[in-house]
Structure 1
Amino acid sequence: MKLNKKISFLLFFLFFFLLSAKNVSGRDSFVTVVNPVRGNEFSDPGNPFFLESVNNLLAPLNQKKIPATWLLRYDAFSNNEGIVFFKKLAVERPDDELGIFLEITPRLAELAEVGYPGGGLFWHDANKIFLSGYKPEERIKLIDASFEKFKEFFGFYPKSVGVWHIDAYSVRYMSEKYGVTGILICADQFGTDGYQIWGGWWGIPYYPSRYNILLPAQTHKNKIDAVVFWWAARDPILGYGGSVRESTYSVQANDYLSHGLDAVYFKKLMNDYLFDNRNQFGQLTIGLENDNNWEKLGDKFDRQIEAVKKEIEVGDLKAVTMGNFSDWYQKKFDISPDHWVGEWKMSTGYRIGLNQGMIVDLRIYNEQWPEANLLTANPWGTLSLNNPYKIDTVRFSGSEKLLDFEVNQNELVKKFGEQKIPFGIEKVFLLLYYLITLLLIIFFLRKNLSLLILVILGSWCLSLPMAKSGLVYPFGMGFWGPNGHDGIWHLALINQLKNFSLNNPVFSGTRLTNYHFGFDLIIALLSRLTTISPLVLYFQAVPLIMAVLIGVLTYKFVYNWLSSKCSAWWAVFFVYFGGSWGWILGRGESTFWANQSISGLINPPYGLSLIVLLVGLIKLVDYLKNPDKKNLIISCVLFGLLIQIKVYAGIVAIGSLGCLSLLSLKFYRAKFKGIFHLFFGSFLVALIVFLPFNLKASSLLVFSPLWFSRSMIAFSDRLGWFKLENARIAYFHSGKWFKWLLAEGLALAIFIFGNLGTRAVGFFYGGFVWKKRKINPIELVLFSALTISLVLPLLFIQKGNPWNTIQFFYYFQFLMAVFTGVTIGNVFGKTGKLKKVAVGIILIILTLPTTIITLKNDYLPSRPPSRISIEELEGLNFLKNQPAGSVLSYPFNSDWRYKFSEPKPLYAYETTAYISALSAHQTFLEDEMNLEITGFDWQARRKDSQLFFLTADQLWGRTFLQENEIRYIYLVKGQKMNLGLNDIEAEKIFENGEVVIFRVK
């Protein structure tokens, strides 16, 4: 109590000292009285007692003739009493303003036909009352419902809106559609009410960025034409801190009263905000919520209004509504001007806080840095809204820096660096790369116009499913299709190979086994040689080149084999665009289990294996024509390497060469020696590149005949023909074997022909071979490959993930695409022009829907299924720049899948390798799916990880970290450990609103 008296005494003299310096420059100063009004929806619905406190607030305003803005929550203006009261107020106080207090209530959600989040602890949980707790399309519904009702009752749309947090997406929408000019949000606070709002301007109005409500716009392009007001502006000295205590040093009467302070303190804060001659204007927002304790705070509010009135009477101050001030501000400023509050300087480019010559807080702003949950729904009852920092002494005590330079944008950037979006890439680079690629395609294929057009269209379509992934958007780094798992795994592996390491990226302390990493090694070497990020190479650069090569090499192979341009062109068409019949049923490409051509490159090793296979087939044609050593060696190396690029391709290729070798004893005895040398050489190369990395590998195949055709009709996410599945089971158990065989045969036929779509035409090529009673070696090797790639997935599944052997079937589809093209070429060679055109158009019309629908539904939507948020990217980028060490993260929790809306964060989407992939560190346990596929016993580690985060045993915790050589602990919001940092001898090295990283000493 004595301390509070001393503070009051000092503040009293400080106030009169500052008073002598105020307003000498003649610039404008404004006070805006804003009173948020809540109805009784959460307390006593139907009882209008909430209006009694409004009358209490009105009394001093009427007496001093001070205008005010009244922000009404939906439950305050959606009942007769509230409507009558505020209509009357608008007549009696014409200078006042009515606006909306946009807290979301259950009744408003019901009106907007939006689901209101259940559970939680309080009605004021962040994911319930703030728009950011809802998906963007739901926010629009809630805004529209609220504004339309407001207009229905009062005859106009409001110009001012407030709530303790409104996201920039919603503000932009309200500004553009309804002409909202003023937005009231809560001032900076680190740990009050579960709402963390940290890093914005210190209580001064500004134009916000379209990406972040806490960032001032730096350009007209990214400016929202609305002015941000701050509720409960903080004390520029005492208000900076990490607890409720600091944040309650504010202009709010209920706040400073808790510290034993009074009107003298309020007048001191008025001087800080209103009468600083370094600024072009002064502005302060004051007011009270109607559900405060009026008996306790009423006289304090009266004294605030009295203090305001005195300044007005002497001509130093104007009292204006939010709408009036917004109008003044918009006429006065195009871009928000620099501003000082105490020792805080705010600029559109930075915010800096000083204390006795030391920098205690520094944010260098980037207007394109998106706020958390800008385009995603916040699932938490708490709010974490943070601007990135260069210095933050609340988070990191003792991190202040000496101010030994002039405070300006250039000096700050020079000393502390720009605030760049992590993992962002220059779009100019990508555009230039695509342009150069296009010009090269045109140059090399200029003499074959039909092929040129086909390759451009086909390679564009084939690379699109990859191109959007790995780029940074306002919601974070997006991943379309299976890239959120498979692509992330490849990136993690590439980062290890880039350092010439065969360490398992997701199982620290072990080596990679049971995996074919040829593609990943190539990307790693390319990245090392060019310094281009593996992200760019994997998602944007390499897929386009592979797509072009697949088309060109398919054409070259078929033409070299048959000397038919028509057959070669149609083969390329079906390789690029071949699809299933799923579209006829209104279903997706994998209705019958297999992905189709359009999704070929989301499995880049498969795409690379096609390129190597095609080059091998081209050289095989040359070798059969001219069996010299050069062609033999090249062919052997190409076919042998396939096993390390894609093991399924290696098995198909070596197996088909083995069949050719055996059958050549009957059909081509004179060529047997050369063919056998080819098979043996290829087999030898395969052993050389496979065995050293898989000495301890075990078989991953399980004999399970017809698993794919059976599961296709049994699984609801596939064809789901449950009547056929039930009949099949019934016939088996009742011993009706003939009917059972018919059911099995029908399911198998649907599996094969449903997946092939128009490529089933390729079966007719067998008729041509039968008709000519002769089969050449190329046909024999292709038929052998066709048989192997069909039979193996029909007989075997894979341990861990049974569906993985469907990848054998991809080569069956590819070969059938080639045979279909050859078949059409043969038919067209004997057909009139009119029939060619008609048949060609029909085939194209029946083939393209799979590609078009898959692109439209899966790969081109603006919202992907998974992402890594900007906050996580910031944390992962920080971790990437730390010394090498194993990272411990929380084990994957599948229940979190249902907590988040799309795009889901990767830690909730699936068990993935994203920490390793983006940080380039090994992790103790990640991507349990790939660990299962590659045969690692990961369950024990999962139990140990779970125990570490739950245990209170300090000795066990320290021992666990030491024995497993854990260097870093990585946690996201909602995850925690029971042990303290001192318990495990660790320190915090990074923290933002979503991520915290600890380093084990």
Structure 2
Amino acid sequence: MNKMYVNVIHRADRGPAMREGLRFQQDAAHEAGIRTTILMSYEGLCDPEMVAYVKTQQQLGDEIGIHFHNFMCEEMRPFAESDDMALYLHSTASKKSIVDRIFQTFEEAFGFAPVSIGGYILDSETILYIKQKQPQVKAAITNCFEEGVKMFEGNNNSWYLFSDGGPWGAFYPSRHHHLAPARSAEEAIDIVSLPHLNRDMVLALTSRDDYFSSHPANVMRAKANDGPRSPYMRRFVDQWIQQKDYNGFSYYSVFVSTPWVMPGNIFVDDAEHAKALYVDSLQYLRQKADEGEAELATMSGFADAYRLLAGPDKPEVNLWKDILAGTKRQTFWYVDSAFRCAIDLNIGGTICDLRPYVGELSGDMGPDTEILWNGNHPYLIAKEHRGHSGHRCVVSIGGASASIENVRTGGRVGRSAEGKHQLIVDPIVLEVGGHEVTLESTFTFEGAGRIRIERRVAAVSDPDVEVGVAEVFDGCYGTTIYPEDMRGIGLHAEGAAESASLAYAYRSGKAAVESPKRLSATVPKLRTRVSLVPEPGSADRGSVQEGVLFKPYYKLSSEKTLKQGGATATWLILEQA
């Protein structure tokens, strides 16, 4: 039977208040029959009373590991080059020194080396170093899914944690970027990478996603609770359980640091309500385990299970519905080692986010790196950051046209005859030039950086009318809300009889061909080429076009004229350039 694997993780920090909070959390977990994973911060390791308490929990069967938050203190200062509170923002040499000191202190305190570790971000060079020096490590929390630009804005532009663009679940990290899944065992760092928390996969695009996560007290910050009750939190668990039916299993992490269940937290209206929400969440997970829907595990226990369930480059999908307001909105996600993609069914099935991993860019941060603080993985499409970007279908009749973006729809997860993941979009009806056109769309994720997009004109109010069906890719690149320098991008249109190219110069340049074979944009900064490749007979005309400074995007367009019952198939392909 497919299951959702659950980790309940606590962090042990310094001081009597932290010990009191941890004691409450541990007691709540044990009352629910849950073994926890306790991750010791360096400050916690420097507190003899906290170490002594955690040892009592180890004797009860809980797992003990390391967390790389709350390490910068008086005891650490001699081992670090600066007083930066974030490990991932230290230089390579400083990262190594800090890591060595924390592992040494842990082993002196507990008498063994840990197999589970965590941080808000652990970049690839840090994970590699830890794995080389501490080969017993099995599992690591390495990222905070979609905590980046919107989190920065929502925290008074002062929270320097940029982690947009990676997977939402477990994966084997690649050696070049901690947010990119590895293609093979040779490319992988031999560790199971985990997210800090699970997120609401609709609101992760549209909101600060720390409001809506597997962190029960965060729903208080989002005002999604009614005192000690939060039906939203239970619906959230149920949505994550549903994902196992698409992937064979799912992963769920509850990681609440102790200040969230203690008096004095400025984001918590009532500490007793926060405690009640925490207890209810654990009890509900216990109920789901008793019903056979979930399996409760330590971090290393899940890592062992994951190695049996998934190898490198195992794709994962997620279909999420709006569980906060109860609208019909759905968002679909897909990730593998070549790219991560999000499709917003609220705007007709438009690709609204696309992160290419094929360029194998480095994600290592610090004062001795090129990217410094910016751990976000770059995008080609990010509609929430760069509003005009997206891949959409445009239908035209005569001089009138309509985009699928104007129609809300739904969808379901399927499989192709070859077993590949599919998003099957519910038919939509477009009003075009006084006619109604019913359009069906299917996305098939073929692997190796390829998506097959099929459109079918299921019905036209006048069956004799000719309908233009165009695949339109409006792209850019970047990691934030601001445009990057597009000069250097090359646009190319290859037709059956002729070809044309453009160098991006912000001059509205356009190149068009008949019977296009490939329409592409090469983005050197991302070492990536993105292409639309129509299947034979699926395109009559195509074009590539550059934008202007006020609208700095590039456009790839492939169009086919169809009648009722006609269909077209186009490949969206990402390759290393």
1:163-178, aligned counterparts within 5 Å?
163-178=119-134
Q: Does 1:390 align with 2:397?
A: no
Figure out how many residues of one structure are paired with residues of the other and give that number.
395
For residues 854-895 of structure 1, the C-alpha deviation after alignment (integer angstroms, 9 at most, x for no partner) is xxxxxxxxxxxxxxxxx999866449942268xxxxxxxxxx
Which of these residues, 360, 371, 382, is aligned with residue 352 of structure 2?
360
Alpha-carbon spacing, 1:259–1:873, altered in 2? closer, same or farther (3 Å): closer
Instruction: Give 1:150 shift.
Output: 0.4
Alpha-carbon spacing, 1:226–1:883, altered in 2? closer, same or farther (3 Å): same
Q: Is the 8 A contact 2:234 2:284 kept in 1?
A: yes
Q: Does 1:313 align with 2:290?
A: yes
Instruction: Give 1:387 shift.
Output: 1.7
| 2:181 aligned partner, one-letter code | P
Q: Is the 8 A contact 1:37 1:291 kept in 2?
A: no
1:976-995, aligned counterparts within 5 Å?
986=550
Instruction: Give 1:987 shift.
Output: 5.3
Partners of 1:362 and 1:51 in 2: CA distance: 43
Alpha-carbon spacing, 1:875–1:60, altered in 2? closer, same or farther (3 Å): farther
For residues 721-780 of structure 1, the C-alpha deviation after alignment (integer angstroms, 9 at most, x for no partner) is xxxxxxxxxxxxxxxxxxxxxxxxxxxxxxxxxxxxxxxxxxxxxxxxxxxxxxxxxxxx
Which of these residues, 3, 6, 17, is aligned with residue 49 of structure 1?
17
Q: Does 1:191 align with 2:156?
A: no
Alpha-carbon spacing, 1:37–1:191, altered in 2? closer, same or farther (3 Å): farther
Q: Does 1:213 align with 2:178?
A: yes
1:2-13, aligned counterparts within 5 Å?
none
Aligned residue for 1:304, secondary structure, equals helix
Q: Does 1:36 align with 2:11?
A: yes
Aligned residue for 1:150, secondary structure, equals helix
Instruction: Give 1:373 shift.
Output: 2.0
Q: Is the 8 A contact 1:198 1:386 kept in 2?
A: yes
Alpha-carbon spacing, 1:37–1:416, altered in 2? closer, same or farther (3 Å): farther
For residues 683-715 of structure 1, the C-alpha deviation after alignment (integer angstroms, 9 at most, x for no partner) is xxxxxxxxxxxxxxxxxxxxxxxxxxxxxxxxx
Alpha-carbon spacing, 1:367–1:129, altered in 2? closer, same or farther (3 Å): farther
Which of these residues, 386, 389, 393, is aligned with residue 399 of structure 1?
389
Q: Does 1:158 align with 2:114?
A: yes
Q: Is the 8 A contact 2:197 2:252 kept in 1?
A: no
For residues 632-667 of structure 1, the C-alpha deviation after alignment (integer angstroms, 9 at most, x for no partner) is xxxxxxxxxxxxxxxxxxxxxxxxxxxxxxxxxxxx
Q: Is the 8 A contact 1:217 1:367 kept in 2?
A: no
Aligned residue for 2:65, secondary structure, equals strand
Q: Does 1:285 align with 2:253?
A: yes
Q: Is the 8 A contact 1:34 1:71 kept in 2?
A: yes
Partners of 1:209 and 1:413 in 2: CA distance: 26
| 2:146 aligned partner, one-letter code | D
Q: Is the 8 A contact 2:365 2:371 kept in 1?
A: no
Q: Does 1:62 align with 2:30?
A: yes
Instruction: Please name the residue that 1:255 is paired with.
Output: 218
Partners of 2:205 and 2:506 in 1: CA distance: 35
Partners of 1:51 and 1:275 in 2: CA distance: 36
Query: Which protein has the bigger strand share?
Result: 2
Instruction: Please name the residue that 1:762 is paired with.
Output: none
Partners of 2:370 and 2:38 in 1: CA distance: 28
Q: Is the 8 A contact 1:199 1:386 kept in 2?
A: yes
TM-score w.r.t. structure 2 length? Answer: 0.62
Partners of 2:132 and 2:359 in 1: CA distance: 19
- Percent identity, please: 18
Alpha-carbon spacing, 1:881–1:360, altered in 2? closer, same or farther (3 Å): same
Aligned residue for 1:384, secondary structure, equals coil
Instruction: Give 1:132 shift.
Output: 2.4
Partners of 1:212 and 1:872 in 2: CA distance: 23
Instruction: Please name the residue that 1:338 is paired with.
Output: 315
Partners of 1:376 and 1:331 in 2: CA distance: 38
Q: Is the 8 A contact 2:116 2:140 kept in 1?
A: yes
Larger Rg over CA atoms: 1
Aligned residue for 2:317, secondary structure, equals strand
Partners of 1:378 and 1:75 in 2: CA distance: 31
| 2:202 aligned partner, one-letter code | I
Alpha-carbon spacing, 1:266–1:234, altered in 2? closer, same or farther (3 Å): same
Instruction: Give 1:346 shift.
Output: 1.8
Alpha-carbon spacing, 1:53–1:163, altered in 2? closer, same or farther (3 Å): same
For residues 402-422 of structure 1, the C-alpha deviation after alignment (integer angstroms, 9 at most, x for no partner) is 3645332454399899x9x99
Q: CA RMSD in A?
A: 3.3
Instruction: Please name the residue that 2:166 is paired with.
Output: 200
Alpha-carbon spacing, 1:367–1:78, altered in 2? closer, same or farther (3 Å): farther
Which of these residues, 356, 361, 364, is aligned with residue 369 of structure 1?
361
Instruction: Please name the residue that 1:106 is paired with.
Output: 73
Instruction: Give 1:359 shift.
Output: 1.4
1:716-865, aligned counterparts within 5 Å?
none
Instruction: Please name the residue that 2:139 is paired with.
Output: 182
Partners of 2:472 and 2:170 in 1: CA distance: 26
Instruction: Please name the residue that 1:116 is paired with.
Output: 82
Partners of 2:94 and 2:195 in 1: CA distance: 26
Alpha-carbon spacing, 1:883–1:50, altered in 2? closer, same or farther (3 Å): same
Partners of 2:198 and 2:384 in 1: CA distance: 18
Alpha-carbon spacing, 1:379–1:106, altered in 2? closer, same or farther (3 Å): farther
Partners of 1:345 and 1:375 in 2: CA distance: 33
| 2:120 aligned partner, one-letter code | W
Instruction: Give 1:386 shift.
Output: 1.9
For residues 92-116 of structure 1, the C-alpha deviation after alignment (integer angstroms, 9 at most, x for no partner) is x21x11111112313353352x222
Q: Does 1:78 align with 2:46?
A: yes
Instruction: Give 1:129 shift.
Output: 2.3
Which of these residues, 337, 343, 352, is aligned with residue 348 of structure 1?
337
| 1:327 aligned partner, one-letter code | D
| 1:140 aligned partner, one-letter code | K
For residues 757-809 of structure 1, the C-alpha deviation after alignment (integer angstroms, 9 at most, x for no partner) is xxxxxxxxxxxxxxxxxxxxxxxxxxxxxxxxxxxxxxxxxxxxxxxxxxxxx
Q: Is the 8 A contact 1:77 1:83 kept in 2?
A: yes
For residues 127-177 of structure 1, the C-alpha deviation after alignment (integer angstroms, 9 at most, x for no partner) is x22222222122111111110110011011111111211111001111222
| 2:176 aligned partner, one-letter code | Y
Query: Which protein has the bigger helix share?
Result: 1
Alpha-carbon spacing, 1:169–1:988, altered in 2? closer, same or farther (3 Å): same
Instruction: Give 1:194 shift.
Output: 3.7
Q: Is the 8 A contact 1:220 1:335 kept in 2?
A: yes
Alpha-carbon spacing, 1:248–1:877, altered in 2? closer, same or farther (3 Å): farther
Alpha-carbon spacing, 1:336–1:155, altered in 2? closer, same or farther (3 Å): farther
Alpha-carbon spacing, 1:63–1:161, altered in 2? closer, same or farther (3 Å): same
Give 5+ residue unaligned stretches, structure 2: 152-158, 263-270, 320-331, 394-440, 454-470, 491-501, 508-524, 526-546, 555-577
Q: Is the 8 A contact 1:100 1:158 kept in 2?
A: yes
Aligned residue for 1:228, secondary structure, equals strand
| 1:99 aligned partner, one-letter code | G
Partners of 1:400 and 1:872 in 2: CA distance: 15
| 1:335 aligned partner, one-letter code | P
| 1:210 aligned partner, one-letter code | R
